[in-house]
A and B are shown apart, each in its own frame.
Chain A
Amino acid sequence: MIDQPAPLATSPFNTSSPARLPKFRCRNVQAYYGKTRVLHGIDVDIPDQSVTALIGPSGCGKSTFLRVFNRMNDTIPNARVTGHVEMDGIDIYSDQIDPTVLRARVGMVFQKPNPFPKSIYDNVAYGPRIHGLADYAGELDDIVEHSLRRAALWDEVKDRLGEPGTSLSNGQQQRLVIARAIAIRPEVILMDEPASSLDPIATARLEQLIDELKQNYCILIVTHSMAQAARVSEHTGFFYQGALVEYGETNQIFTNPVDQRTQDYITGRTG
């Protein structure tokens, strides 16, 4: 059984990082859709093994910023990212970086649970298969079981791994998608409003899972719900019109924001 995400020996990312160095370091990150600038020079450090929440009104650029970390913006035609983004001290936008290798280390969970139209087992095994992660026949089974356990789904699905992933409930599907992301042994998990289509019970379940996962992963979560940000995150960044207005410890942001715009948003005057 594998408990720790294993670093890559052959990867340029591999550094013997001392404790509490930031996982990501962003300097003057700008993003454009065509000629429109949607991120106006973001400077921020994201700590490892903790949950960082990104909040702000719709269209403020928080989702675009989230997609900076796994270079998913590359897949959108006309989208362009400039500036400097480091992961463990390595520039992830350099020419030497293969986005597919980067994405194997930075998993992502989307707004709508979207399992592949395959069995539960094949959903989780998809990533390991394309990356050639399983060394021997039985290992894939181990990875699947381990990932489903980590996503707190194993007990519910262990007897029906062959059933299609789409047959699960919404909340289960979202956890399946998390298991699918965990299966490629990432170091970071990006979550783009993961609870927006879930009912309150499934949401509570998901938040509990996030709390468990943060011991091993760096988690970034974009959320509409300030209560959720307050519940699950250690750090919070407030985005407004493409700019990171305020960033700090969650407690401080919610109780004593420095910027007037943050205060207005949190108290419900804008949004």
Chain B
Amino acid sequence: MPMLLGGVYLFLIVMAFVFARTLAIMRFYVPGLGAETRPHSVPNFHAYFAAWTAGFFMLLMLALYRLFFAAVGSVTIPLILMALITALTCLMSFKLTQREFKARDYVEGFVQFALFLCSGVVILITFGIILSLLFESLRFFEKIPLTDFLTGLEWSPQIPIREDQIGEAGSFGVVPVLLGTGLITVFAMLIAVPIGLFIAIYLSEYAGRRRRRVIKPVIEILAGIPSVVYGFFALLTIGPMVQTGMAALGFDITAQSVVAVSIVMGVMIIPYISSLSDDVMSGVPQILRDGSYALGATPSETVKKIILPAAFPGLMAASLLGVSRALGETMIVALAASKAANLTFNPFEAVTTVTVQIVTLLTGDQELDSAKTLAAYALGLILFILTLLLNIIAISIVRGYNAKFHR
């Protein structure tokens, strides 16, 4: 039935198009009249006008019919109505298709409105994210008080607090989860920022055009590898390697240690930092460099004394975006970090993160409306607020920086 309706729909639109176009050609181009009678809009625009009008009203009718007469379920009535609308459109077209009628303006106005709607989708997505997080989080905070959530030192959603609490399970203290996320992020940035920065310095100040052409794609490949692959690498190679290395030194640590996860996450973020920093440093005006070299400074002195200070806000923004990325990274930690919360500052222990908990809470056996499911949204809300703040700060730094150098 939808196939039939769809087919008839398309057919009727084409009918309206052909009708209006033929009519316009017959009316506008009377042999012997010549160019004095040039119409405002060429026939195609009259045709689009008619076709889109028919299409719009038929769609409207179908939606209304479905809304109010869904129970009737007849195909014949919609079909008759569609034919009627097309006939009315053709009648309208018969009256409107004149040389003076500004069909082009209407058609283009409609197209522009459609384009406008497309850009509005972006706002809808943001609203969708905010509303879904807020809505479900509020339901979560009805069950678990906000203060308990934010200050609780224990996170174990799977274990009931008391025996009699059947539906309401576990304790939801977010502190250890946030701490774990922070710990992994800090160590990842300790790896990513220096290495990424030095790569950027090398690319923008030392590497010639030819070396740049080789190095840049390599870094881009590193950036293009999906994070699930990095996760596999962490789980299979780096985790056990760190474990064995520490065992050789006489320490017995887990393969899920913060250090192992952070190394891989740091590597994942390196290309992100390096390409952003490279852009920023390449954007430092050449005059500043020339001035420094003219005074006899070496490249490294120029970088340290001139370029890094000049590019500092941009580099800061790049690092903040890197942090935001690390906070929200899911697949590496889902594979290589622990699923159990652990309140610790020790980088050789295993911790869990916000994203790991979201995945764990939503992929197990879950019942809707349970505190466990809703807790995922509360964690999501925290993650959203954190990354949003970082992004806004980073973007405003970049904007201020651009305004400074590229007026």
Tell whether any CB of A sits under 8 Å from a CB of B in the complex: yes
Contact yes or no, A136 B31, CB < 8 A: yes
B37 located at the interface, meaning its Cβ lies under 8 Å from any Cβ of chain A in the complex: yes
Q: Which residue from chain A places its CB closest to the CB of B102 in the assembled complex?
A: A98
B39 / chain A contacts, CB cutoff of 8 Å: 132
The docked-state distance in angstroms from the alpha carbon of A10 to that of B101 is 12
Within 8 Å CB of B29, what residues of A? Answer: 135-136
- A76 interface residue per 8 A CB criterion: no
For the complex, give the distance between the alpha carbons of A203 and B68 in Å. Answer: 73
| Size class of the A contact interface (CB-based, 8 Å) | 10 to 19
Q: Are A132 and B31 in contact (CB under 8 A)?
A: no
**Contact status B42-A10, CB under 8 Å:** no
Report which residue of B38, B43, B100 has the largest number of chain A beta carbons within 10 angstroms of its beta carbon: B38
Task: Summarize A's interface: helix, strand, loop or mixed.
Answer: loop
A-facing residues in B29-86 (Cβ within 8 Å): 29-31, 33-43
* Contact of A131 (CB < 8 Å), options: B33, B34, B37, B42: B42
| B99–A10 touching, CB < 8 Å | yes
Q: Tell me the chain B residues, 10-37 only, with Cβ under 8 Å from chain A.
A: 28-31, 33-37
How many pairs, one residue from A and one from B, have CB atoms within 8 Å of each other in the complex?
A: 38
User: Which stretch from A1-9, A113-121, A219-227 is at the chain B interface?
Assistant: A1-9
Given contacts A132-B28, A135-B29, contact A9 B43 (CB under 8 A): no
Which A residue sits closest to B35, measured CB to CB? A6
Q: Indicate if the CB atoms of B35 and A133 lie closer than 8 Å.
A: yes
Assembly CA distance A136 to B35 (angstroms)? 11
Interface residues on B, range: 10 to 19
The answer on a CB contact under 8 Å between B35 and A10 is no
> Are B31 and A6 in contact, CB atoms less than 8 angstroms apart?
no
Least Cβ–Cβ distance between A122 and chain B, in angstroms: 16
**B42 neighbours in A (Cβ, 8 Å):** 129-132
B-side contacts of A185, CB under 8 Å: 35
Are A10 and B100 in contact, with the CB atoms below 8 A? Answer: yes
Are A135 and B34 interface neighbours, CB within 8 A?
A: yes
Residues of chain B with a CB closer than 8 A to A10's CB: 36-38, 99-100
List B contacts of A2 (CB < 8 A). Answer: 35
**Would you give the shortest CB distance from A268 to chain B, in whole angstroms?**
34
Contacts of B43 in A (CB 8 A): 132
Q: How far is the CB of A104 from chain B (nearest CB, A)?
A: 8
A139 nearest CB neighbor, chain B only: B29
Tell whether, in the assembled complex, residue A7 and residue B36 are in contact, meaning their CB atoms are under 8 Å apart: yes
Complex-state Cα separation, A2 to B42, whole angstroms: 21
> A5 — nearest CB in chain B belongs to which residue?
B35
Expressed in whole angstroms, the Cα–Cα distance for A8 and B100 within the complex equals: 13
Q: Smallest Cβ distance from A82 to chain B, in angstroms?
A: 25
Give A129's nearest chain B residue, CB to CB. Answer: B42
Contact B38 A131 (CB under 8 A): yes
Q: Mark A92-103, 1 if CB is under 8 A from B, else 0.
A: 000000100100
CA gap between A136 and B100 in the complex, in Å: 20
Q: Which of B96-153 contact A (CB under 8 A)?
A: 99-100
Contact B31–A135 (Cβ < 8 Å): yes
| A9 near B31: Cβ-Cβ < 8 Å | no
Cα distance A6–B34 in the bound complex, in angstroms: 9
Provide the residues of chain A in CB contact with B28, threshold 8 Å. 132
Residues of A within 8 A of B100 (CB): 10
Which residue of B30, B36, B41 is within 8 Å of A9 (Cβ)? B36
Q: Looking across the interface, which residue of chain A has its beta carbon closest to that of B104? A: A100
CA distance A130 to B40 in the complex (A): 10
CB-CB < 8 A to B41: which residues of A? Answer: 132
Cα–Cα, bound, A2→B29 (Å): 17
For A135, the chain B residues whose CB sits under 8 A away are: 29-31, 33-35
Pair B38/A133 contact, Cβ less than 8 Å: yes
Residue among B31, B36, B41 having the largest count of chain A Cβ atoms under 10 Å: B36
What's the minimum C-beta distance from B39 to chain A, rounded to whole angstroms? 6
CB-CB under 8 A from A136, the residues of chain B are 29, 31
Residue of B nearest to A100 (CB): B104
Say whether A8 contacts B31, CB under 8 Å: no
| Cα of A101 to Cα of B100 in the assembled complex, Å | 13
- Specify which chain B residues have a CB less than 8 angstroms from the CB of A7 in the assembled complex: 36
Please give me the residue from chain B that is nearest to A98 by CB atom.
Answer: B40
- B100, closest chain A residue (CB): A10
Closest to B39 in A: A132
Question: Which residue of chain A lies nearest to B43 when distances are taken between CB atoms in the complex?
Answer: A132
Cα A179 to Cα B41 in complex, Å, equals 23
If the complex has contacts A10-B99, A10-B100, are A132 and B38 also in contact, measured as CB distance less than 8 A? yes
The listed residue (B30, B36, B99) touching A6 by CB distance below 8 A is B36
> Given A135-B30, A135-B34, 9 more contacts at CB 8 Å?
A6-B34, A9-B36, A9-B37, A10-B37, A132-B28, A132-B39, A132-B41, A135-B33, A136-B29
Residue ranges of A at the interface with B (Cβ–Cβ < 8 Å): 2, 6-10, 98, 101, 129-133, 135-136, 185
For the complex of A and B, 9 pairs with smallest distance between CB atoms? A132-B42, A9-B36, A135-B29, A6-B35, A132-B39, A133-B35, A6-B36, A8-B36, A132-B38
| Residues in B lying within 8 Å of A, measured CB to CB | 28-31, 33-43, 99-100
20 residue pairs A–B, Cβ–Cβ below 8 Å: A6-B35, A6-B36, A8-B35, A8-B36, A8-B38, A9-B37, A10-B36, A10-B100, A101-B40, A131-B38, A132-B28, A132-B41, A132-B42, A132-B43, A133-B38, A135-B30, A135-B31, A135-B33, A135-B34, A185-B35
